[in-house]
Amino acid sequence: MSKTTVTEKLGALPTSGRRRVQVWAAVVLLIVAALVIQMAVPDWQVLPDYASHLGYGVILAIFLTALFCEYIDSSLGMGYGTTLTPLLLLAGFEPLQIVPCVLLSEFVTGAMAGLMHHHDGNVDFLRDRRARSTTILLSALSVVGAVAAVTLAIQVPKAWLSSIIAVIILSVGVITLATARRRLRYRPGHMGALGAVAAFNKGLSGGGYGPLVTSGQVVSGMSPKQAVAVTSLAESLTCFVGLTAYILIRGHVDWTLAGPLTVGAMLSVPIATLSVRRLPESLMRGSIGVTTCLLGFLTLVKVFW
């Protein structure tokens, strides 16, 4: 008997799914073609020139990077800000250019991903009381975590806090892998504790929310599909709170990166939620565990490098 491939297990996409993929591919190719044409013929104005000083090659790279990072984030509930922000820093952008634009794109795409996960049947926020209450709990803790982070960050060395958070993320990843084949009982207390730490992490560093919240929900007994959907929606509110505070405190915001980041991230969502719908839960649990361990390890490396 021949081995069954993952593709065969997933089965063929229904007509609506194929149509979505076709429309998505057409839109992405159209945007890429427009940027390439703009690069080849600078005098022919195809796109708005509000960010033309970046260079259309840079805009294309940012667009594609955001598309990829958000696909991973909306599929596994983690990885967008954690991977995108360091890449933009390495590219030469300043933190004050990056943070508000990343928060804006995560706010928009998180809300969109939550709705799409609901639409695709990965979660039912209307009928599933547990998913709904977990989202509300995490959203409320986002505000508390941000305030606590600002207060404690003034008194405690950031390297110590980052090290503790990295160890927690790595530990949760190991637990997720160790329990990948077990169906655990949902424990709101565990979820609340991890949610508080994740919200604190987000308020302190602007990243690291997804690894703790998504894997924490899985360890606490939530299904991986529900965990990814809940994380997307809860993180959206977290980013909204952070972006609002940033605007109120800073006053002026450089929105140069907002366009390619938001458009690229938004375009990944319809395909990501469709992928989550088709993936087996055992494969998702393993992927979430591996990704969480990797992000925790990279955070430790960053702290001690």
All structural domains of the chain with their residue ranges: 15-304
Question: Hey, what are 82's tokens?
Answer: 């954690």
Provide the pLDDT for residue 31. Answer: 92
Residue matched to tokens 């979505």: 20
Residue 2: its pLDDT value, please? 43
CB 158 within 8 A of CB 204: yes
Cα 9 to Cα 7: distance, rounded to the nearest angstrom: 5
Q: What angle do CA 29, 35, 36 make, to 5 degrees?
A: 85
Residue type at position 272: A
DSSP state of 155: T
**Residue from 217, 148, 235 nearest 179 by CA:** 217
Amino acid identity of 294? Answer: L
Measured distance CA(245)–CA(238) in Å, rounded: 11
Alpha helices in 91-157 (DSSP H): 95-119, 129-153
Can you give the pTM of this predicted structure? Answer: 0.75
Q: How far is CA 257 from the centre of its chain?
A: 17
Residue 226, both tokens: 């529900």
CA 92/CA 266 separation, integer angstroms: 24
Kindly write down the DSSP assignment for every residue of 28-55, as one continuous string: HHHHHHHHHHHHH-TTS--S--TTGGG-
Q: Which residues of the chain have pLDDT under 70?
A: 1-16, 45-52, 146-166, 168-169, 172-173, 175-190, 192, 199, 201-208, 281-282, 284-285, 288, 292, 299, 302-303, 305
Asked whether the beta carbons of 272 and 113 are under 8 A apart, the reply is: yes
Are the C-beta atoms of 78 and 230 separated by less than 8 Å?
Answer: no
Rounded to the nearest 10°, the torsion over CA 30, 31, 36, 38 is: 110
Residues 6+ apart with CB under 8 A from 274: 13, 17, 20, 21, 120
pLDDT at 261: 93
Determine the residue type at 188.
P
Could you tell me if 74 and 230 are in contact, meaning their C-beta atoms sit under 8 angstroms apart? no
CA–CA dist 276, 229 (Å, integer): 9
Q: Number of helices (H) and strands (E), helices first, in the chain?
A: 12, 0
**Distance of alpha carbon 113 from alpha carbon 231, whole angstroms:** 10
SS3 percent helix, strand, coil of the chain, rounded to 5, is 80, 0, 20
- At residue 163, the pLDDT reads 67
For 301, list phi and psi in degrees, rounded to 5: -60, -40
Question: Nearest-5° angle of CA 264, CA 73, CA 239?
Answer: 80
